Structure 1
Amino acid sequence: MTGRKMSSPGEVIALLNLLAVDGIGPGTTIRLIRECGSAESVFDASDSKLRTIHGITDRLIAPLRKVSAVAEAGQRQWEAAQEAGVEIRTYWDDNYPQLLRELETDAPALLFIRGEFQSDATRVAVVGTRRATAYGKRAADELIGGLRGTGIHVVSGLASGVDSFAHEAALHAELVTEAVFGCGVDRIYPAGNEKLAQRILDAGGALLSEYPIGTVHTKYTFPQRNRIIAGLSKAVIVVEAPARSGAQITAGLSIEYGRDVGAVPGPVYSVMSKGTHELIKSGAALIESPEDVLALIRTISPVAEEKASIIELPFDLPQEERRIIESLDATESIHIDTLAEKMELSTGEVLSRLLMLELKGLIKQLPGKYFIRA
């Protein structure tokens, strides 16, 4: 399957069948397909071949041989997705998000997607407690509102509280936002967020899940979806969270995956600040402004690094970004305040544009907020 642009319907159905086998999850599925070449080949592999694969024992091989028990599961799930207009992307497809693929066997073997999903977009996750306060709402509104015009996608879980505030703030700031579910993408949870989910879709966003159409949520599926939120994002921002919260789990996964984590400080006597303060004490970045968020995710992507040596400006570069880069020199740096004054723009607006240029590999930031052309 390596190098294939898109998995065939037959392969996707076989993959769905494989995931329906008792005891076989995404990680085991990925290992099996790496060794056997395809999901269809897994069912045809000999017992001796399967035993050579790490983690595969007779306990897992036995249900694989009972193909009849799952033979119709994949076909039903495939047809349900087609009828619902839901796209299925597999770990081996070219349009599967690369950041998520980097999780290796921790990545979902496939994604069910409603809406439009740009796999290579720059994403930041904003998460927190379901019992958010007015303080948490204001923080989400201001942090995400300050990202207007950056092209950054905001990822969260559509839960009540901070998740909902994050999606709402992104929509208000005209940013694409995406919700990751702990159930099938046909089941909006909580039900009170049905209108919000539709607005996300109407604004060009997406609803994602690794679970087939019709799957109901359980207490186990939400922690599983947290790894997808973390894996999709360059950074995770925790707005409000009590101690030992789900948001802290997401933050912990982000650290494990090599992502940056930021946390918003809160009132010292608020229970909803305990989790964020613990994260800050443990080394999470202190997030007080949109500029802090931008600084956290300004690392140049591999695609941008590859393009960094190109001198010609892209023909489709936005006018303001073109003006900024034309004001920069390749040998002499300029401070952001000087550049903002020269451009007659606010420092925040210039910083947002500079981030996008840095992500495209066209400029470099030096210590002290000085910038030069790459």
Structure 2
Amino acid sequence: MKQSIKDQQAVVKWLALSTIKGVTPREWLQLITQNALTLEQLFSGEWCAAATTSKTLPHQLATLIASADKGCIEHSLNWQSAAESHRLISIECASYPAMLKQLSSPPLVLFVQGDHHTLANPSIAIVGSRRCTHGGKQIAHDFAWQLADRGWSVVSGLATGIDAAAHNGAMLGHANTIAVTGTGPDKVYPARHRELHENILASGGAVVSEFWPGTPPRAAHFPRRNRIIAAMSAGTLVIEAAIKSGTLITANLAIDLGREVFAVPGNINNFTSEGCHYLIQQGAKLVFKVEDIIEEFSSLPVQFTLKCVDEQQKSRPENLATDELLDSVDFDVTAVDVIAERNKLSVSEVLATLIEYELRGCVAAVPGGYIKLRGKKNVRHPHVSI
């Protein structure tokens, strides 16, 4: 559905305020709310009284408004008109995520690709290390899949590692996924995730940015992206994170906003688990199954149907988990000769069986040996990889 002319005119005004240098979104919002102004009054000049009372913008409002970057505005409108899936959502639009307004200085305009209605879904953020383990990717994939199957959209940052695994997992579920980027809406970063970006849009998800079209990736953009991830989500799940990382920034932002924070524990000898263990020490909830997250929220909106998982209904590959040889493979890396020793078999016999398990999605070959996987993998969406 296209925006009405009135809504489009309002978006243009919010875009104009966003381009004015030296004035933050918080200051514009304070000026408007404290002086009971409408956008029309602000742009028509009916702000003279406010100009003398406002502490944040005491003088020269007319000059400020006249300094709006018309080139940026036109470029943004051209981006929106380039495709039906492109949309500019201002802070007063119904599609603007309500929880995002709790930021002290929320974006005045969001650039959205895909299904903008997805932004209204209840959502959980899944974040973690780019340099994650294979096991960490699998955990992110499975948690995202199960959360999406239960009506939760999964929000992440389109980065490599945990982010990508979460997006891919969520696309297998019912509620889909939202990627928040640190670039303009016409840029994909990292470039290798162009296919992932396209898959998110094709599957009914959305890609969101607060940056103007043409904006390249810069280091300062990603903490800003992280605050949006934390703010628009009811909770944040951390899977593998170093102590000094953007992931911990996202978790701390979520804490500051009063959101729930969850962390998956890991190997104490793995530096990517240090951040999770730190968060758990600070009060984050330790989780190892999706129900640990869902139980923290009393209910989902009625339009989302909770999907109950019958643990008794297992496929043959899942029943293989009771096999003795599979039981001897750990969730951490297990060397083939160790597996052979545990089962009193030759290495060649063990490899033949492990290949069968791998084809069925029960184990994965990694540097140094094999790791056991949890549950069925990728049986519903063969084109999605982790």
Sort the TM-score into its range (normalised by shorter chain).
Answer: 0.7 to 0.9
CA contact (8 A) 2:158 2:181 kept: yes
CA contact (8 A) 1:142 1:289 kept: no
1:223 — aligned with what? 223
Give the root-mean-square deviation of aligned CA atoms.
Answer: 2.9
Offset at 1:55? Answer: 2.5
Aligned residues: 308
SS state at 2:269 partner: coil
Moved >4 Å (runs of 4+): 4-7, 45-48, 60-63
Deviations, residues 254-298 of structure 1 (Å, cap 9, x unaligned): 1111110001111101110111111000000001111112223x2
1:146 — aligned with what? 146
- CA distance 1:300–1:37, shift in 2 (3 Å): farther
1:260 — aligned with what? 260
- CA distance 1:68–1:263, shift in 2 (3 Å): closer
Offset at 1:148? Answer: 5.2
Aligned-pair identity in percent equals: 32
Offset at 1:247? Answer: 0.9
How far apart are the structure 2 equivalents of 1:12 and 1:280?
Answer: 42
Could you state the TM-score of these two structures normalised by the residue count of structure 1? 0.74
1:337 — aligned with what? none
1:309 — aligned with what? none
1:346 — aligned with what? 311
Q: Unpaired segments of 5 or more residues in structure 2?
A: 315-386
- CA distance 1:148–1:88, shift in 2 (3 Å): closer
Q: Which has the larger radius of gyration?
A: 2
Offset at 1:54? Answer: 4.3
Deviations, residues 172-203 of structure 1 (Å, cap 9, x unaligned): 34540110011112111101000001000111
1:188-203 pair list within 5 angstroms: 188-203=188-203
1:181 — aligned with what? 181
How far apart are the structure 1 equivalents of 2:116 and 2:313?
Answer: 28
Q: In structure 1, give the amino acid aligned to 2:51.
A: L
Residue 50 in structure 1 maps to residue 51 in structure 2 = yes
Could you state the TM-score of these two structures normalised by the residue count of structure 2? 0.72
Deviations, residues 111-167 of structure 1 (Å, cap 9, x unaligned): 111000224311000001111111211221232233353121000000111111110
Q: In structure 2, give the amino acid aligned to 1:130.
A: R
1:157 — aligned with what? 157
1:137 — aligned with what? 137
1:1-374 pair list within 5 angstroms: 8-34=7-33, 35=35, 37-43=37-43, 44-46=45-47, 49-58=50-59, 61=61, 64=64, 67=66, 70-85=69-84, 86-101=86-101, 103=102, 105-118=104-117, 119-147=119-147, 149-296=149-296, 298-300=297-299, 345-346=310-311
Q: In structure 1, give the amino acid aligned to 2:311.
A: S
CA contact (8 A) 1:36 1:45 kept: no
CA contact (8 A) 1:227 1:250 kept: yes
Q: In structure 1, give the amino acid aligned to 2:14.
A: L
- CA distance 1:154–1:6, shift in 2 (3 Å): farther
Q: Unpaired segments of 5 or more residues in structure 1?
A: 305-315, 325-339, 350-374
